[in-house]
Structures are given as structure tokens and as C-alpha cells.
Structure 1
Amino acid sequence: MDDENGSGRAGRFDGHVALVTGAGSGIGAAVARRLAAQGAEVFAADIDGSAVEAATEDIPGAHVLAVDVADSAQVDRAFDEPVRTRGRLDVVVHAAGVDDPTAKEWIAEALLADLPLEVTGRLGDDAWRRVLRVNLDGTFHVLRAALRVMAPHRKGAVVTVGSSSAFDTLAGYPHYAASKAGAHALSQAVAKEAIAFGVRVNTVAPGPTRTGMAERTPAALRQGFADPRVRPYATPEEIADIALFLASEEAANLVGAVLLANGGRFTV
């Protein structure tokens, strides 16, 4: 396993130009650091410009981009940057995503009171659209932009970050599960098209991971994930290692894969 900075595989991405979304925190930030440590020139994108600046301050030569992946025009402009400055883009890791803290609170309240969940009937259109707009529409915007840039060069690797919740859906969290299941299917469909142009698309689907999103999850809900039979919450670095494997030549024969990275949590 690599050390904290990923230097155990130094040089694996030498000469590569990479773009990472959601790079301001969590898995995206870990991916950006590991790509840089392994030789890549990193374009780090996040909706929170100050967060991505802080997350990449120790990455020499990192390019910081403020991008809302739900806005297709912003995504297209972000992908224009590496092409304009370096003439190409070799690796994309799409880690940007959102959860729904309000729905999580409703789930936790029901758990604590030992009551049936009542979430779906309370979900408003805005809550539904926010999650789908970022997690599903955003994935489409990123995949489309990546293919437009990479296909003419007949090479490239794209990794999307999905979720194990698409397979083991959490009661009371339908919009998140739907958004991630949709992103998985979208990635696989695009993978079948993109490989004809030498572009590989794959997905890593984490289980619970120690990110800022997890920190905001109510304690009652986090305890519900506790299971002594499986590994504890993953670290962002552990998920980043899988994303980098999928982006590397070591995974040259993987196309349209969805790798479950949940420590056995939903499979034992």
C-alpha cells in the first residue's frame, strides 16, 4: 500500500495531465494529492474555490478551478483549461457529489424514536432536484466534456465516484440512491461508446468513508453502519488508491467496471 502521499508508486503518472472534480475535500482531495505524488500535473476543481486552494496548497504546480458540476458551461470551461495550457487531458477523476443532511436528520430521528421512516412523502422537489442535478447531471456533464477532449487523441481514462448505496439502498434516502445508480448506469453506457476511441471509463463505488460528508451524518445513522464483521469506515486515501488503479495502465483491460469498495459492509 502507498504511504500517506502515494509516493510508493512515484512516477506512475509521469507526464500525465489530470483533472479532478470535488478536489476541495474528501476523496477528491486525496485523489489530487496522490496523482501529483505519482507524477501528474493536476487541475483541481471544486465548487468551493477557497477549499480547493487550501486542499492543494502542498501540491506543486496545481491548477485551481472553481466549478459547479451541475452547470454544464462551467464544466466545459474547466475542461478547456488543460487543453488550452497543455494541449491534452489524460486522466479525469470525477469525485464531486452532494448528500442531503435534512433527510439524514429525519432518518436519525426515526431511528432514535424507533418509528417507521417517513421521508419520501416529505421530500420536496427542490431537495430531489438538488441531489439529482449534482450527482447525476453533473456526472453527465463531466463525462461528455471528457469524451469531447479525449476522443480526438484516441486515449484517456475517466473514473467516476459512485456509491455502494446504489446496490444496498438506504431506506429514507431514495434521491441519493437513485442519483448514484443512475451515475453507475450512465458511466457504463458511456464506457461502451468511449472505448472505441481509446477512452476507458470505470467507476469506484465506496461504502461509508471518512469524509466531511460522513462527519455531518447524525451519530445515530453512523452507528447504524457499525458492524464488527467488516472493516471500519474507509479513509479517503484508500478510495483514492482504487481510483488511481482504475485510471492507470494497470487497469488497461477494465472498461465499464463498477468496483465495490465497501469493506464487505453490504456483502457479508
Structure 2
Amino acid sequence: MSGDAQRDRFEGKVAMVTGAGSGMGAAAARQLAAEGARAVVLADVNSEAAGIVAKELPAARAVALDVADAAAVDGAVDDVLREYGRIDVLVHAAGVDDPEAKRWIADALVEGRPPEVTGRLDDAAWRRVMRVNLDGTFHVLRAAVRAMLPHGSGAIVVIGSSSAFDAPVGYPHYAASKAAVHALSQAVAKEAIASGIRVNVVAPGPTETGMAARTPEVLRTGFADPRVRPYATAEEMADIALFLASDAAANLVGAVLLANGGRFTA
């Protein structure tokens, strides 16, 4: 694909990105704007962070959105439809991890003992991760499919995680939430393609984001496999997401692209 064609991949498209205040969501929003989208709506629970990114971009605006709130997701999508008439591309990058569980794992590594996480997880910690990562993905997929159905077209890309495959020790709730996100997205993909809507997933490995920056150093060091790159960039993950959203990926439906730098294959 030529440079000019690359810059015009999303010419005239209306795009919405969740989790757009930082990391992969912000990178995807910037790239959509650079590649010709006529409107980019940046949604994030931190509306101030999303607003800072939106100010950099032409024809972009920020909205506050907690994806765990079903009514708020429906309302945000309805607002986009009222303003622009359609949504052509939706990148769902909103998600959470569990800093406390990461600290427990890090402490165990430093002390040379196995992590003991599952027995210490309370219901609130479990529900927080599931509420945002899994419930939030369902809310976004449902609203996006509803919005795209009348037009018979659209592309949805969900950010999953390679942890759905390797299930890191001491991180059961996060791994379970992302494995469920993959299965949910694939099930929706098989249904929605009959209406011209493509759904696909990117499953990143370690990626340099704000979430990663808050990871204890001993865990970050553990990712430093000498055979592979320590961390990908958010922009590299956005490149993969937007390939899936582009016409070049027309034959990819329900794909889960493992983008972990070669740490393992699935």
C-alpha cells in the first residue's frame, strides 16, 4: 500500500475510540485522524485526558464514558449518531488491570515464594475487573452493532490480551476477563458479519502504556526475554488495530491477532 493510500484509509469515516485518553486508544485516535477520518470521538472515563488528545486532532471531540455503565454507553453512541449520522469504525481499548494483585505477585517474586493471589482476591476486586473488561466490552459491542446495522457495514476492533492464552500466574481475574472478551467478540463477529459488520480482536503482549508504567519493576524485568523485544509501543498496537478496521482486512472476521513479539504462539 502506498503512503498516500495509507493516509487515506479512513477518508470520510466516522470513528469512535474508547479508552482514548492514553495508551493504545490515544494512539488509535491519532492514527484515525491522520488517515482521513472526518470525525473521531474520543471516549474515556478520564474525560480530561481524552480532551487533551482531542485538542491535537482535527474534527475530534472528547466525551466522558465509563464503559461499565450500559446506559452511558448507549447514550454516548446515540450522541455520535445524532451528530454524525453513523459510526463506521469503533476501536474498543478501554480496560483495567489490578495494581494490588500485581503488587502481591511482585512481592512474592522478590521474596522467592509462589504468589498467593486467588485466596486473597475479594469479590470487589473480581467484579471491578469483570465489570469494566467484560461487561464493558459487551456494552460497547451491543451499542456499536445497533448503530451499524442500519448501514449494513462497519468495523469493530477490540483490544484483548495475550494473557488470555498464557494465563499469568497470580492474575486469574484479568486472564479470565480477557479470555471471555475474546470469546464474546468472536461470537458477535460470527453473528454480525451477516449484516456487513466485521468484529476482530488484537491480543497484545507487553506494551508500553500508562498501565504498564504502573507495573512493579520486578514484573517488568520478568518480561525481558532476551529473544524478543521487552515492550511494544502503543502506536504499533494501534497499527494492528487499524489494519483490522481497514478494507485490507475485509476477509478477517472473528480473528484474534496475537501481537506479543514472539513470546509464545497460540
Point out the more displaced range, 136-145 or 75-84.
75-84
Give the superposition deviation at 1:265: 1.5
CA contact (8 A) 1:166 1:180 kept: yes
Could you tell me which residue of structure 2 aligns to residue 107 of structure 1? 105
Q: Secondary structure of 2:218's partner?
A: helix
Give the superposition deviation at 1:8: 7.8
Could you tell me which residue of structure 1 aligns to residue 139 of structure 2? 141
Could you tell me which residue of structure 2 aligns to residue 120 of structure 1? 118
What are structure 2's unaligned runs of at least 5 residues?
none
Q: Percent identity of the aligned residues?
A: 69
Give the superposition deviation at 1:7: 7.9
In structure 2, distance between residues paired with 1:241 and 1:136: 24
In structure 1, distance between residues paired with 2:4 and 2:96: 30
Give the superposition deviation at 1:56: 2.0
Q: TM-score w.r.t. structure 2 length?
A: 0.97
CA contact (8 A) 2:258 2:265 kept: no
Name which of 11, 30, 34 aligns with 1:33: 30
In structure 2, distance between residues paired with 1:148 and 1:163: 25
Question: What does the per-residue CA deviation read over 1:137-160, in whole Å, with 9 as the maximum and x for residues that have no partner?
Answer: 000000000010001110000000
Point out the more displaced range, 246-255 or 54-63.
54-63
Give the superposition deviation at 1:74: 0.7
In structure 1, distance between residues paired with 2:80 and 2:12: 13
In structure 2, distance between residues paired with 1:262 and 1:247: 19
Q: 4+ runs of 1 displaced by more than 4 Å?
A: none
Could you tell me which residue of structure 2 aligns to residue 98 of structure 1? 96
Q: Secondary structure of 1:232's partner?
A: coil
Give the superposition deviation at 1:267: 3.6
Give the superposition deviation at 1:54: 1.1
Could you tell me which residue of structure 2 aligns to residue 170 of structure 1? 168
Q: TM-score w.r.t. structure 1 length?
A: 0.96
CA contact (8 A) 2:105 2:117 kept: yes
Q: Secondary structure of 2:42's partner?
A: strand
Match runs of 1:78-227 below 5 Å? 78-227=76-225
Which residue identity is paired with 1:9? Q
Name which of 5, 9, 34 aligns with 2:6: 9
Closer/same/farther in 2, CA of residues 7 and 174 from structure 1, 3 Å limit: farther
In structure 2, distance between residues paired with 1:178 and 1:38: 34
Query: How many residues are matched?
Result: 265
Give the superposition deviation at 1:64: 0.9
Q: Secondary structure of 1:167's partner?
A: helix
In structure 2, distance between residues paired with 1:13 and 1:122: 46
Give the superposition deviation at 1:82: 1.9
Question: What does the per-residue CA deviation read over 1:155-201, in whole Å, with 9 as the maximum and x for residues that have no partner?
Answer: 00000000000001110000000000000000000000000000000
How much is the aligned-residue C-alpha RMSD, in angstroms?
1.5
What are structure 1's unaligned runs of at least 5 residues?
none
CA contact (8 A) 2:223 2:230 kept: no
Q: Secondary structure of 2:142's partner?
A: helix
In structure 2, distance between residues paired with 1:42 and 1:74: 18
